[in-house]
Structure 1
Amino acid sequence: MSNLQTLRFYATPPHDCSYLPGRKAKTLFVDPQASITPEIYSELSDLGFRRSGSHIYRPHCDNCNACVSVRIPTRFFAPSKTQRRIWRRNDDLKVKRVPAQLTIEYYRLYDRYITERHADGDMYPPSPSQFMSFLVEGKQPSCFYEFRDPDNQLICIAVTDMLDQGLSALYTFYAPDQEKRSLGTYAILWQVEEAKRQGLDYLYLGYWVRDCRKMNYKTAYRPLDMLIADRWVRV
């Protein structure tokens, strides 16, 4: 059985940075053949690692520390006036935990979201195989949270990993025509409350990059813990 001391890691060659145009990036991957227990995965999350499908990774760039791991301390989180308004706006939604899986209904929502919101990104065009490799594959405890409106229409899916110390918000996709609901924000707020309900201290949000506009939303949640020089700092 692997532990943090015996794990092997592999670094990729330089590749185009997904966050900062014109930059090159490197990624550090955990050995895909290693047996990673939920406990080890939880420890890796505290070291800034993230999961995408069956891969556990973190940025490993030369002379660049732009990617900062962030998490919300659930017991101390204080929603802003705007966030409280978004919470009330969505109090008619029903949320259900389901296994991470590919269904026609889930894929249709995913396809709409990627096509209408991220046609300029690395994930376009979407495909069922991409959905599987990105959101379903992997051996760590994970689930989908379904968000349905009063007519039982699926309008949002939050993909979430379970850690010993918290929840990890891996990805959220939602109906592009539901802009007034601010579903991306609501999904984070809901997961904060779900983590608290389960007695968990943190909701992990992945990486924040100061100069990447798409990442700015993460600093709207306060207080926020940032992993700086291998130490979690509360801001």
Structure 2
Amino acid sequence: MRHTLPLAPQFYVTAPQPCPYLEGRMERKLFTALQGANAQRLNDSLSQQGFRRSQNVLYRPSCADCSACLSARIDVSRFKPGKSQRRTIRRNAHLERRATSPWATEDQYELFRAYLDSRHASGGMADMDVFEFAAMIEETPIRSRVVEYTDLESGDLTAVSLTDVLSDGLSMVYSFYDPAKTDASLGTYMILDHIEIAQEAQLPYVYLGYWVPGSAKMGYKSRFSGLEIYLGGTWQRLDDPANFKIENHPLANDPIAEQVANIQLPDTAS
């Protein structure tokens, strides 16, 4: 089904399919193409409204009877690392960060395959070949970077994040790392390092994707102080994730046409 705003991008809805985060539920996404001269402004605007980028597509969960997937970002000014996070920073002091243009390499793909085979062997990306991986990294119409973390002692590529640079922050599109280094907390470390990058660049937010209460896969995001979630059309502080409850009644979700009508688009004439 297609929904259109005058002189604006066209929005579509995917067919329902099994939710990858919560067992027994079905997911559906609202999405639009990311293309043309206005792509950067559109990505900035929709990212600030809970959308995420996947190559040349912007999407946001729009499930019929569930609202559990919540876009999350860290307010850098309010972030304070906890004791375990400070230990994670020290534990990975031997890693060197290098930010490059979005260009795929064989070393990245080997690390990506090891990560998927160990952590997400049955996921939707499990069969991704080297050409599809290159498309994921390189097909971006906006300002993106590949942030690599290399072990100074061994010279091995240890972790990678595909990161978009937004007008108000950094968006971690997709991250992967050496699954054999379980004690290094590399996923946490990359987020902590992106917070540092944002601070250095005077960018207020680090966008983390979706936090899903009740999902073990996504629960780690609630461990970061300064967390905000996009709920009810606004960003709200999440001070106590343990006490957060989401309404999953079917009538709690707006109809698709109403959701599209409420999307704020950038001024294409500017």
Shift >2 Å, 4+ stretches: 31-37, 132-136
The letter of the residue matching 1:124 is A
Higher Rg: 2
Unaligned runs of 5+ in 2: 239-270
Against the structure 1 CA distance between its residues 128 and 47, is the aligned structure 2 distance closer, same or farther, given a 3 Å change threshold?
same
Counterpart of 1:25?
Answer: 27
TM-score normalised over the length of structure 1:
0.93
Q: Percent identity?
A: 38
Give the deviation of 1:34 after TM superposition. Answer: 5.6
Deviates more, 1:52-61 or 1:35-44: 35-44
Secondary structure at 2:108 match in 1: helix
Please point out which of 11, 16, 28 is paired with 1:9. 11
Give 1:136 deviation, angstroms. 2.5
Q: 8 Å contact 2:149–2:157 — kept in the other structure?
A: yes
Cα distance per residue 1:97-153 (max 9 Å; x no partner): 011122111111111111122112221133112312333312121111110111321
Name the aligned partner's letter for residue 142 of structure 1. Answer: S
**Equivalent residue for 1:80?**
82
* Matched residue SS, 2:31: strand
Corresponding residue number in structure 2 for 1:57: 59
> Per-residue deviation at 1:179?
1.6
In 2: Cα distance, 1:48 partner to 1:5 partner: 22
Which string of whole-angstrom CA distances, capped at 9 and with x for unpartnered residues, describes residues 6-36 of structure 1?
2221111222222222211211111356654
CA distance in 1, matches of 2:46, 2:7: 12
Task: Give the secondary-structure state (helix, strand or coil) at the position aligned to 1:44.
Answer: helix
What is aligned with 2:232?
A: 229
Match of 2:135 among 133, 136, 148: 133
In structure 2, give the amino acid aligned to 1:126.
M
Provide structure 1 residue ranges, at least 5 long, that are not aligned to the other structure: none
Structure 1 residues 173-188: aligned runs within 5 Å: 173-188=176-191
User: Are residue 108 (structure 1) and residue 110 (structure 2) matched?
Assistant: yes
Q: CA RMSD in A?
A: 1.7
Secondary structure of the residue aligned to 1:213 is: coil
TM-score (norm 2): 0.82
Structure 2 partner of 1:147: 149
